[in-house]
């Protein structure tokens, strides 16, 4: 094999971070932490547990449980977030931030998604919280969807941007805001126009799927997530944003594990567990788009730069070597056969994999 061909099959990048991740708790946490920590050095951990992570003590205890679950010999830093509600006290946020416990605060519009019933019912109710966050420099992470029943589920993000995000950015121009898991061309254009006040994360599943995926030969709850996947033109816009080399777009998997039985029920949960193959899934997209040279910046540079954190020193190696994704992710503690999670790309063949040995 000549050296050029050899080079094309290996890609060495700075170790990435995941700027949006659900780890859950208990048995699920103990199982899902390994695939993330084997690749990512840091992750912004979402607070939508039951009960939500809203106090300093809860965040510290949750961080401990996460660190205990990390396999030995792996260096992984969970970055904790506070769950905002109508009752959040600016003082607690400030104290948690000053003590280095809260990395950011998460705004879930009430009932927008999994475990958001205690979220914010009206953004104007948390004005004093946002004012404090702007002053102290605590970033605001937003699940950007309205929940009004008269707004079509596919329009929720665009309506949120127009009715809530634009006024919020005007009111708090120095607040650091990340619009999480963007799904539309509208969001792409809006974020580009507002950077550096605003940045956005993009998930692997929104880069791979359009809304047809949910309805191939029947209803496919494995592809149900929120914000819901959209029309093809939006997927195309997201792929070009992610691979554009623009620093306002960076990696955030939104990996959201749910047990099979919870996804396939009369009221199935939203969320896609992509942590098993996250960087491989992104690599596939960047490869298909002829933009592998942009993968490192998206995965490992734009996030830390936006948040003012150092870049990771370590490198990981991706190897182009087709491998089949298992159909099930069985929990370590599994006693009952039905307790498994279906990973993203279940049963598919992905073309890139992370080398377990080539780290330096
Ligand atoms: O699909 C999703 N799942 N979207 C979210 O916003 C939350 C997440 C979860 O926690 O399951
Ligand atoms: Zn999420």
d(CA 196, CA 176): 8
Q: Is 14 in the pocket of ligand 1 (CB under 6 A)?
A: no
In tens, the pLDDT along 183-216 reads 999 999 999 999 999 999 999 999 999 999 999 9
What is the rounded CA–CA span in Å between residue 214 and residue 89? 40
What tokens appear for 299 in the block?
């995965």
Please tell me if the CB atom of residue 303 comes closer than 6 angstroms to any atom of ligand 1: no
pLDDT of residue 1: 41
Q: Is the CB of 41 under 6 A from ligand 1?
A: no
Percent of the chain with pLDDT over 90: 94
b/e 80-101 (16+ beta carbons within 10 angstroms → b): bbbbbbeebebeebbebbeeeb
Does the structure show a pLDDT above 90 at 126? Answer: yes
Buried b (16+ CB within 10 A) or exposed e, 28-41: bbbbbbbbbbbbbb
Nearest to 352 by CA among 332, 331, 325, 313: 325
Q: Could you give the 3-state DSSP secondary structure of residue 133?
A: helix
> Does the pLDDT at position 358 exceed 70?
no
Task: Read off the pLDDT band of 4 (50, 70, 90).
Answer: very low
Task: Determine the average pLDDT of the residues in 323-344.
Answer: 88
Stretch 319-336: mean pLDDT, rounded? 89
Question: What are the E-state strand segments in the chain?
Answer: 10-14, 18-21, 42-45, 77-83, 102-107, 140-142, 177-179, 198-202, 249-251, 315-324, 329-330, 340-341, 349-354
pLDDT tens by residue, 208-253: 999 999 999 999 999 999 999 999 999 999 999 999 999 999 999 9
Task: Tell me the angle at which helices 90-98 and 127-136 cross, rounded to the nearest 10 degrees.
Answer: 20
In a domain, 1, yes or no: no
Phi, psi of 256, rounded to the nearest 5 degrees: -135, 85
Q: Is residue 227 part of a domain?
A: yes
Domain count across the chain: 1
Q: Provide the 10 A C-beta neighbour count for residue 288.
A: 14
Alpha-carbon span 294 to 297, nearest angstrom: 6
Ligand 1 atom closest to the Cα of residue 180 is: 6
pLDDT at position 2: 40
Place of tokens 């708790």: 25
327: in domain: no
* pLDDT tens digits along 282-308: 999 999 999 999 999 999 999 999 999
Statement: residue 3 has pLDDT above 50 = no
Residue 113 CB less than 6 A away from ligand 1 = yes
User: What CATH number does the domain containing 201 carry?
Assistant: 3.20.20.140
Quickly state the pLDDT bin for 335 (edges 50, 70, 90): low
Q: Does 336 fall in a domain?
A: no
> Residue 157 sits in which domain range?
16-314
Q: Which phi and psi angles does 123 have, rounded to 5°?
A: -60, -30
Q: Examine the residue annotation and report whether 262 is marked as an active-site residue of this protein.
A: no
Structure tokens at 273: 């567990």
CA distances from 102 to 31, 32, 99 (A): 24, 22, 8
CB atoms within 10 A of CB 120: 23
Task: Say how far apart CA 261 and CA 240 lie, in whole Å.
Answer: 35
* Local confidence band at 359 (pLDDT 50, 70, 90 cut-offs): low
pLDDT at 203: 99
Asked if pLDDT for residue 40 goes beyond 70, the answer is yes
**What's residue 333's pLDDT?**
81
Question: For residue 9, what are its two tokens?
Answer: 């099959």
The confidence score (pLDDT) of residue 280 equals 98
Q: Is residue 268 part of a domain?
A: yes
Which of these is catalytic: 27, 152, 254, 293?
A: 254
pLDDT of residue 356: 78
Q: Read off the pLDDT of each residue in 10-32 and give the average, rounded to a whole number.
A: 97
Give a yes or no: residue 342 inside a domain. no
Q: From atom 3 of ligand 1, which residue's Cα is the shortest distance away?
A: 271
352 lies in a domain?
A: no
Residues 93 and 138 sit within 8 Å (Cβ to Cβ): yes
Distance from residue 32's CA to the centre of ligand 1 (Å)? 15
Q: What is the mean pLDDT of residues 72-85?
A: 98
Query: Token pair 């914010």 is at which residue?
Result: 120
- φ/ψ of 113, rounded to 5, equals -165, -165
pLDDT of residue 347: 97
What 3-state class would DSSP assign to 28?
A: helix
349 inside domain: no
């Amino acid at each position: 094999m000549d050296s050029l061909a050899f080079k094309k099959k290996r890609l060495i990048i700075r170790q990435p971070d995941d700027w949006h991740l659900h780890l859950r708790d208990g048995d699920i946490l103990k199982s899902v932490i390994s695939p993330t920590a084997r690749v990512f050095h840091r992750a912004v951990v979402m607070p939508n547990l039951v009960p939500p992570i809203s106090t300093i003590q809860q965040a510290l205890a949750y961080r401990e449980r996460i660190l205990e679950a990390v396999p030995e010999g792996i260096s992984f830093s969970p970055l904790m977030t506070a769950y905002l509600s109508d009752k959040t006290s600016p003082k607690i946020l400030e104290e948690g931030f000053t003590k280095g416990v809260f990395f950011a605060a998460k705004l879930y519009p009430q009932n927008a998604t999994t475990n958001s019933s205690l979220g914010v019912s009206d953004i104007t109710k948390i004005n004093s919280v946002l004012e404090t966050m702007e002053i102290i420099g605590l970033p605001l992470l937003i699940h950007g969807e309205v929940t009004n029943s008269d707004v079509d589920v596919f329009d929720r993000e665009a309506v949120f941007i127009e009715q809530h995000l634009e006024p919020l950015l005007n009111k708090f121009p120095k607040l650091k805001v990340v619009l999480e898991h963007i799904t539309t061309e509208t969001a792409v254009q809006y974020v580009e126009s507002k950077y550096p006040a605003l940045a956005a994360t993009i998930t692997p599943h929104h880069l791979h799927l359009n809304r047809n995926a949910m309805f191939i030969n029947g209803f496919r709850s494995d592809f149900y997530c929120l914000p819901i996947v959209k029309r093809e033109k939006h997927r195309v816009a997201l792929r070009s944003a992610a691979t554009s080399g623009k620093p306002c777009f960076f990696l955030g998997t939104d990996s959201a594990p749910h047990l099979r039985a919870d996804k396939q029920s009369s009221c199935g949960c939203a969320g896609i567990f992509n942590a098993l193959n996250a960087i491989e899934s992104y690599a596939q997209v960047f490869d298909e788009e002829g933009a592998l040279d942009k993968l490192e910046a998206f995965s490992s540079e734009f996030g830390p730069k936006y948040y003012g954190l150092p870049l990771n020193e370590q490198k990981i190696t991706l190897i182009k070597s087709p491998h089949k994704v298992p159909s099930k992710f069985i929990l370590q503690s599994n006693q009952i056969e039905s307790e498994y999670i279906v990973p993203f790309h279940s049963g598919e063949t992905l073309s890139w994999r992370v080398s377990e040995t080539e780290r330096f």
